[in-house]
Structures are given as C-alpha cells and as structure tokens.
Amino acid sequence: MSNMGLLPMRLFSLGVFLAVVAPRATYAQCGTVEAHIATCTHAHGEPSRAAFEAWMRQTLAQAHKTNQTGQTNQTGTIPVVVHIIHDGESVGQGLNIPAAQVQSQLEVLNEDFARLNADSTWTPRLFAPLAAKVGVQFCLAIVDTNGNVLPSPGIDRMDRKERGWPLGPYTISTINSLLKPATIWDPSRYLNIWVCNMDPYIYGYAQYPESPTLPGLGGNQLATTDGVVLGYKYVGRIGTFPAGLDKGRTGTHEVGHFLGLYHTWGDGNCGDDFADDTPTQKNSSSGCPTFPHISCSNGPDGDMFPNYMDYTNDACMNLFTKDQQARIWAVLSSSPRRASLLASTACQSPQTGVAHNLAYGKLTLSPNPAQGNVAIGLPRIVGRGKLWLRDTTGKTILEKDLFCTDPAITLDVSAVAAGTYWLAITTATGAVVGQNMLVLLP
C-alpha cells in the first residue's frame, strides 16, 4: 500500500536491498533488509528509498502513458545459475542438494510468477481480482560464462573445503564478502542463486535492484554480490523441510525482492510497500491467518497475508498483485543488471541457438519419479528425431530414433541405475525441441 506520509521515517538505501528470511513464526524470516543496509554502508554513498521510489514513479507513469508496463501479455525469461556451496558430500547428500530439488524450485518460480500455482484457487475472493500473472519465467542455464555446455544445466557445485573457506553456517557478511565475489557469474546474463548453510535464523535474502539514474551505488562493487541466497533447507519442494516451508515459496519471496518488491508491511508499523493495491498492514504475518485479518484500519478486507511478500507459511501464499507486477516490469525495463537478463542467451544451445526450457520441458513423463517403464508424450517434430537420456555429467545413457508419426512412446529404464537424468528430444539436425528431468528410483 502506498503511504507517502510515512516516507521520512524509512530512508533505506536501495542499491542493494537484501531481504532475510528466518523461521516463519519465530524469527525475522527474510534477510534482504539487513543485507541491503550492510551492503550500502560499504558502498560509496547511499541513495534513499525515497530517491529510488521517485525513479519508480516516473518509470511507471511513462509506462502507463505508452501502455507498456503492467500488462498481462508481457513475458520474458531469465536464465538462472544455482551455486551450491557444500562440505564435500556426495551429490544428493547434506548441503550438496540434488538436481531434482533445484529443478523443483524452478518449477515453483515459473508457476508462481505465471499464476499457474495449483493453490491460486485459495486466494480470498475479495483479493482475487488484484492477482496478477507477472509473465516472468526462469530457465536453468545451458552454458557457463565462457559458452561451455554445463554438465548439469544451471548448477555450479562448489566444495568449500577445496576453496579453503571456513565451515558454515555463514553470516550475510561472510557470504557477501567471501562466497559471492569468488563464485558469481556475470549478473547481467544470469540470475545468480546461492544455496548454502546460513545462520539458522535466516532462510534467504536477495539484493534489491538499482535505479539507472542514481549515482554512488557502489558500481562494480554491488555487481559482485548481486543475486539471491537461499538456505539449503529451504530450496524447492522435493525433500524434507521444516514445518511450513515445503513448497518453495522462500525462493519466490526472495526473487520478488530481487525484482523490486518490498515486504507487504513495508518493514515498519503500518509501513509502505509502494504497491497501491496491497492493503497497509501492521506487521508481518505468520502461520496461516484466518480471513479477514484486520490491522491498521484496513477493514473490511484486512491484511493481504496470502501475498508472496508476506511471512505466512508456504501453503498460505498464493499471489502477486497487479501493482507488484507493474513494479517488476519497471525494474526489468531499465534497472542495471536486470533489463539485460531478458536478452541473455545463456539458456540456448551454443550449437543450435535453440532455447532449452528446462523448467517446463515440453515432454510429459509419467510416472516421474519412475521405475521400469516411463511413458513420454512427444513434442511435434518434422521427419526423424532422436530421444536422448543423459546423466548429470552429460554422458549418454540411452538413445532412440523417433519418427514424426510417434505421438508417444514408452521407454524401458529398468536397466538404468537409480539417479537423476535429463531426457531430451532433438530433431534430425540436433535442435532440442523438448527436455525434462527424470528421476529413477532404486
């Protein structure tokens, strides 16, 4: 809710506004604000949130005139690389989370930002008209910064012992000063997400976007820390999670910060999140409140506790609003290291230039996870094609010739070892037309 009367009380720097997340009901869940303050104290100069919002208002006004921002037909895809900082465990153990868990986080992001989440029907009736299909999608990067094909799309595993880094859990300060600068990929081409062992009171945090018109934001200094950080216990929806954190919404919340959104309570008592269609609310929510939950004289509808930028349990979050959507597209239109993400080719094959949509492969796999046989719904191909099953190192395990008349096939994987694999369909020329992750059970 926009509340300009509160502005003088809340002059936070927006160069790197980081949001910290901790246990939903016990701690300050999101560390973005803490990280923002720490980073901007380190940078040269500190523009206020008021100055950033002045730029935002101007950008939104111009977009409204040209009918460009906040429209449901706006779409774009952001390449993602996930840096997994582990203690030397085998893949799938401890901090070294499996590729399937990373994939599930991408699926959650794509559902939530497209309002394709199954729980969208739980949005209270009075808030439903405000809900938005943001139009931003996310893909796991196919190539690294040098153009080399990644053995496991979108994943960069890092043994902290080989780097000589201390044992976690890590503070925001350590992550920003040590881990991030040593591992970040070009933030103008990739959304960098770090997964590591964080302080137990933090679930995650993000770096806020910058205004292109504000000087003194730290320049390249901020470019070495840009992205999102998630505690390894809070990634995706595959695995074992703390209560209330099992649907990947920590990732949705933090990416919201990365794209310019504030907490719905404005980080103050009846504060301002600068989105006019989110009601003013007294403070953060927890658990799963009963509708309506009234505060700050915001009746009869009350707090918008199902918003992804609140602190409710994952199962009770289910919407972004139209004004939040407009803010996101304003940031993607011109904010440094945000606008360029939509033009990045990091999700394209270097051989064919064909984009891989790894978060939403065109292949339908059933069952998945699987044992024995897998039914595969095929995308439309012209002439001959080929099916490939590869492990996470890129090694080909199975291949099969296909024909355009095949609507679906059943693949026998009974002889393939349990694990995580990539199943892809290519044309005769090698262009990838469909791909998805397949998990095989023992």
CA atoms within 13 A on the CB side of 339: 9
Confirm if 430 and 149 have CB atoms less than 8 A apart: no
Confirm if 321 and 131 have CB atoms less than 8 A apart: yes
CA atoms within 13 A on the CB side of 60: 18
Please state the length of the chain. 442
Per the residue annotation, which of 53, 111, 210, 254 is the catalytic one? 254
Confirm if 331 and 17 have CB atoms less than 8 A apart: no
Confirm if 36 and 207 have CB atoms less than 8 A apart: yes
Amino acid making up residue 342: L
Confirm if 311 and 264 have CB atoms less than 8 A apart: no
Residue 342 DSSP symbol: G
For residue 111, indicate whether it is catalytic: no
Confirm if 231 and 241 have CB atoms less than 8 A apart: no
Give the span between the Cα atoms of 12 and 14, in whole angstroms.
6
Find where tokens 């409140």 sit: 289
Q: Which residues are catalytic?
A: 254
